[in-house]
Structure 1
Amino acid sequence: MKRILAIMVKLAVVAMIVGCKVGPNYTRPTVDVPQTYRGALAPDIATAPATTTSSLSDEQWSAIFQDAALQHLIQEALTNNLDLRIAAQRVLEAQAQVGIAHSQQLPSISGGGSFSALQIPTSLAGTNSNGTPANSFFDGGGFSASAAWNLDFWGMYRRQTESARAELLASEWGQRATRTTLVQNVAQAYFDLRSLDAQLEITQSTIKARQDSLKLTQSLERHGASSMADVRQAEELLHAAQANLPALRNQIASEENTISILLGHNPGEIDRGLPIAEQPHPQEIPVGVPSQLLERRPDVQQAEAKLIAANARIGVARAQYFPQISLTSLGGSSSNQLQQLFAGANSYWYAAGSLSQPIFDGGRIRSNYHLSQAQEQEMVLEYRKTILNALKDVSNSLVGYKETRERREEQFAQVTSAADAVRLARLRYAGGNTSYLEVLTTDTDLYNAQLLLAQAQQQEAASLVQLYAALGGGWQ
């Protein structure tokens, strides 16, 4: 048996020396990446020069989202979120697939043994020479071991392992992409919730102010200083604000449920932190250079890993054209006497080698080879498409962050002016210098402007989240 194994080892060494891996070796496709992002040169967007390599995505998510309540929610989601746990299981599955693929490069060895004995009635067996009953016989026994090895002369199994390892890498990058998306979704949902909270507070404050205005109008009407039409208009204002309360409370509950599911919990209430108007924003927004997206974005890395796997499968398909070489051996010992089982004269062995070459298979090998080539080209296009989408995401996020910030600033100025207009209109109405229509108009304008400001603050915060994720942050 040792001789057989020695022969197999020598043949394997020869195969590894003269063997090869057919199929193309992977090289990263050439991609036309611009020097700068569209929108990145605006001085109020990126305070760092556009040619520097520093990027907002280099920061940990806890440095970007500084609200303590939001940080706690993100950390809890990273611990309990079911999508992220599913992605982790996929990584374990891919690791097992690598082990399965790699095992095909190694020999398989199995062993076994047998034993048989017979007992017959004493009346039939007779007696031994010493007069004892001869009713028990050892019929035979033995042990054996066998080995088989398909030599990877053309690198088919090595290419399969290469493909499996690339798929493992893709699943790991997929897990990181899921992590990035989770951080983004939790942060956006939280900012949506805080904006709705602000709109609810604005509505409740407006209802209180309009209730006071209605009491004033009713008092003036009772003393003949106002008309019933003014009272009805004041009531109209009050009911309009009160009608918004159910919709806002419904949206708040829905947003809380969304965050709860992201946390891996049953629907329930969510802890709050800073108001939407007080959410901190980084003083500088460096974006780096576009070529860094190839390394920073997990979806781009995942697409490239899938391309590597597809490239390796071309080699697997190519190897099917060539002869397959396999070695088999069998050895052991057998005897009908237990004490002679390990005697050298009772041992046996067998060794064989085989070579098989496909001659006719109806075009299956050729079609499979063309299929692998087509799939590899598909992955090349998917890789380039992913990069283009990444560039688009960053450009859209840069423009979005700039425009939403400008909108929030203008909306804040509008609220300031509208609040002063309401103050002056109420003074004029209380002094009898104008009709209640002016109060109605200015009060409606202020309420709408305040709601729009809360929404603009949410959009500004959400655009920062989108920019951070677009640049590849959140998975580190």
Structure 2
Amino acid sequence: MRHAPSPALAWLPLALLGACTVGPDYHGPPATAADAVQRGSFVRAADPSLRPGPGVARWWEGLGDATLTALVDDALAHSPTIDAAQARIREAGARLRTQRADRLPSVSPTAAYVHARLPGGLLGSGSSGGESGGAESSSSSGSNALDFYNLGGTASWEPDFFGARRRSVESARATVEERFADLADAQVSLSAQVAQTYVALREVQERSRLNAESSRLQQRQLELTRQRYDAGAASQLQVERLQNQLASTDAQRIPLAAEVSQYLDQLAVLTGRSPGSLDQTLTPIVPVPLPPTEVPISDPAALIAHRPDIRSAERALAASNAQIGVNTAKLFPSLNFLGIFGLGGTNIGDVVDPSKLTALATPMLSWSFLDFGRTRAAIDQSDAQRDLAAAQYRQRVLEALQDAETSLSRFGNTRLQYAQLLRAEQSAVRAATLNGQRVAAGTSNVIDQLDIERQRLSAALAVVQAKAQLTDSYIAVQKSLGLGWSEPPASAPLSGAQPAEDRAATR
């Protein structure tokens, strides 16, 4: 006796097809800079102030400047750059939700009312408005009127037999994660830019202060030389030389003032304000902040894993890899189930009469195997885009390591330069003190003392510039290590756990 197959077994081939996902699975980015990772440290990190350890996310607090900390926090909270990055996250999140929704059936409710006037005789000679339930006749005009009411809907569903939808979701989710990495990269760049601009402002303000002090000394020296010239103890050449020096010093004050305005406006815009908004807050002169005595730095492996622009490139690679599966699925047939249902008739009451139910369900099979190579070309294009993303990832890693090595080397050398110039300034201070004692004892004159004081100011100016370069190189180290961003809060959209079906598609 032959038994009919079980209905459950009839769906088994479809279930097996539903578990199929074409295209290459993503197994992570290509191994890059293996020698640097294996070495476990940076080559140029020779300065004794650099010590191994995890970096500090809010590294600017280590500079000990409350004004700078407030500026960075304001920028991270109000900068249009951050707002734009967050908008891109929301856009990518909406696209991911769309891709997920495309995997579910689509149902569209419909409602229709039709009024038709037909030639006489089409509805039957005996029909009348009362007898036909909605059909009305008009003997005078020789025509018939018909009303039709319908309330229902249409439904469609395309089973994801070969994983095209799953790959689309996988690609969209990787793009969301790429946008989160882009936000973190924007935070890194913005915090560094604010700090560098702030240091440049404080340096220019210090240089302007020293310029004014040098101008006062030169003015005093010129007055004394003129007195000596009037007494016949100095030449006109000496007076002219001092006048020329004073004019040059005063001329330097003009571009310095322009630089101060430039940096004030730049900081205002970086923090989301209009130019001029920070003039009153930042006009008082304070010293350039110095880096901490110890600077913790990570290793190359941690940089590759932590730096946001590298993570963004890796997620872009994952998204492009998933697109290969999206296009590969087009090689296979697709099955779409279409359903139409509704209640209706010639009376309005028919829309609530279950006996007037009309339903239609039909499967539709489509297969674009005669596409003249278009699908194969699309797959080849996806392969090339994946290879391009892999090359861009490797390039990003190598450039990041170069950036880190360069900034670490610059930080160490600038620190040595600052120490030497600091010793030179201390020597100039001692020379000015000793000569002041000689002036008090009558063994040296005031003009020589003013000249020594001017040399002291020149040494102080060199120290201010070196100090700013040292702090700027410290900022560059933090930026090259990818510090200055924080993890999004748990309540952030799409930052939670990955759904099981997505994990299955991305493993």
TM-score scaled by structure 1?
0.86
Q: Offset at 1:280?
A: 3.9
User: What is the aligned partner in structure 1 of residue 479 from structure 2?
Assistant: 469
User: What is the aligned partner in structure 2 of residue 51 from structure 1?
Assistant: none
Quick check: 1:361 aligned with 2:365?
Answer: no
User: What is the aligned partner in structure 2 of residue 46 from structure 1?
Assistant: 50
Please show how residues 417-456 of structure 1 align to structure 2 within 5 Å. 417-420=427-430, 445-456=455-466
Q: Offset at 1:55?
A: 2.1
Q: Offset at 1:19?
A: 2.9
Q: Offset at 1:12?
A: 11
CA contact (8 A) 1:138 1:337 kept: no
- Of 283, 286, 296 in structure 2, the residue corresponding to residue 275 of structure 1 is 286
Please show how residues 17-56 of structure 1 align to structure 2 within 5 Å. 18-28=18-28, 29-33=30-34, 34=36, 35-48=39-52, 54-56=53-55
In the alignment, the residues of structure 2 paired with residue 241 and residue 426 of structure 1 have an alpha-carbon distance, to the nearest angstrom, of: 24
Q: Closer, same or farther in 2 for the Cα pair 1:127/1:466, shift >3 Å?
A: closer
User: What is the aligned partner in structure 1 of residue 343 from structure 2?
Assistant: 333
Residue identity matched to 2:319: A
Q: Offset at 1:441?
A: 7.6
Deviations 1:432-468 (A, max 9, x none): 97997x8898666544433322211111111111111
- Of 310, 319, 327 in structure 1, the residue corresponding to residue 329 of structure 2 is 319
Structure 2, gaps ≥5 residues long: 1-6, 118-126, 139-144, 487-507
CA contact (8 A) 1:234 1:440 kept: no
Q: Closer, same or farther in 2 for the Cα pair 1:218/1:368, shift >3 Å?
A: same
In the alignment, the residues of structure 2 paired with residue 232 and residue 433 of structure 1 have an alpha-carbon distance, to the nearest angstrom, of: 23
Q: Offset at 1:234?
A: 2.3
- Of 64, 67, 88 in structure 1, the residue corresponding to residue 86 of structure 2 is 88
- Of 354, 359, 378 in structure 2, the residue corresponding to residue 349 of structure 1 is 359
Q: Closer, same or farther in 2 for the Cα pair 1:43/1:424, shift >3 Å?
A: closer
SS in 2 for 1:194: helix
User: What is the aligned partner in structure 2 of residue 198 from structure 1?
Assistant: 206
Residue identity matched to 2:236: M
CA contact (8 A) 1:189 1:258 kept: yes
- Of 150, 164, 170 in structure 1, the residue corresponding to residue 172 of structure 2 is 164
Identity of aligned residues (%): 26
SS in 1 for 2:365: strand
Q: Offset at 1:286?
A: 2.1
User: What is the aligned partner in structure 2 of residue 457 from structure 1?
Assistant: 467
Deviations 1:11-52 (A, max 9, x none): 69944774311111111222233124444552514234xxxx
Equivalent pairs, count: 451
Residue identity matched to 1:93: E
SS in 1 for 2:273: coil
User: What is the aligned partner in structure 2 of residue 64 from structure 1?
Assistant: 62
CA contact (8 A) 1:324 1:355 kept: yes
Structure 1, gaps ≥5 residues long: 1-6, 49-53, 120-124
SS in 1 for 2:109: strand
Deviations 1:96-135 (A, max 9, x none): 111122222111111212345799xxxxx99989xxxx99
CA contact (8 A) 1:55 1:285 kept: no
Q: Closer, same or farther in 2 for the Cα pair 1:181/1:78, shift >3 Å?
A: same
In the alignment, the residues of structure 1 paired with residue 444 and residue 50 of structure 2 have an alpha-carbon distance, to the nearest angstrom, of: 51
Q: Closer, same or farther in 2 for the Cα pair 1:320/1:434, shift >3 Å?
A: same
In the alignment, the residues of structure 2 paired with residue 435 and residue 472 of structure 1 have an alpha-carbon distance, to the nearest angstrom, of: 54
Residue identity matched to 1:461: T
User: What is the aligned partner in structure 2 of residue 122 from structure 1?
Assistant: none
In the alignment, the residues of structure 1 paired with residue 116 and residue 252 of structure 2 have an alpha-carbon distance, to the nearest angstrom, of: 93
In the alignment, the residues of structure 2 paired with residue 27 and residue 447 of structure 1 have an alpha-carbon distance, to the nearest angstrom, of: 61
CA contact (8 A) 2:26 2:321 kept: yes
CA contact (8 A) 1:191 1:276 kept: no
User: What is the aligned partner in structure 1 of residue 262 from structure 2?
Assistant: 254
User: What is the aligned partner in structure 2 of residue 288 from structure 1?
Assistant: 298
User: What is the aligned partner in structure 1 of residue 247 from structure 2?
Assistant: 239
In the alignment, the residues of structure 2 paired with residue 426 and residue 217 of structure 1 have an alpha-carbon distance, to the nearest angstrom, of: 18
Deviations 1:261-302 (A, max 9, x none): 11111111443488334x242232221221011221000110
Range with greater deviation from structure 2 (33-42 or 262-271): 33-42
User: What is the aligned partner in structure 1 of residue 417 from structure 2?
Assistant: 407
In the alignment, the residues of structure 1 paired with residue 480 and residue 186 of structure 2 have an alpha-carbon distance, to the nearest angstrom, of: 13
Q: Offset at 1:363?
A: 1.4
Residue identity matched to 1:368: A
Q: Offset at 1:469?
A: 1.3
Q: Offset at 1:177?
A: 0.5
Deviations 1:210-234 (A, max 9, x none): 1121222222223333333222222
In the alignment, the residues of structure 2 paired with residue 316 and residue 198 of structure 1 have an alpha-carbon distance, to the nearest angstrom, of: 60
Range with greater deviation from structure 2 (144-153 or 232-241): 232-241
Range with greater deviation from structure 2 (12-21 or 207-216): 12-21
Quick check: 1:181 aligned with 2:189?
Answer: yes
- Of 382, 388, 403 in structure 2, the residue corresponding to residue 378 of structure 1 is 388
Q: Offset at 1:325?
A: 1.3
In the alignment, the residues of structure 2 paired with residue 401 and residue 18 of structure 1 have an alpha-carbon distance, to the nearest angstrom, of: 57
Q: Closer, same or farther in 2 for the Cα pair 1:212/1:116, shift >3 Å?
A: same
User: What is the aligned partner in structure 1 of residue 122 from structure 2?
Assistant: none
Please tell me the root mean square deviation across aligned C-alpha atoms, in Å.
Answer: 3.1
SS in 2 for 1:47: strand
Q: Closer, same or farther in 2 for the Cα pair 1:233/1:18, shift >3 Å?
A: closer
Q: Closer, same or farther in 2 for the Cα pair 1:459/1:13, shift >3 Å?
A: farther
Please show how residues 100-249 of structure 1 align to structure 2 within 5 Å. 100-115=98-113, 139-249=147-257
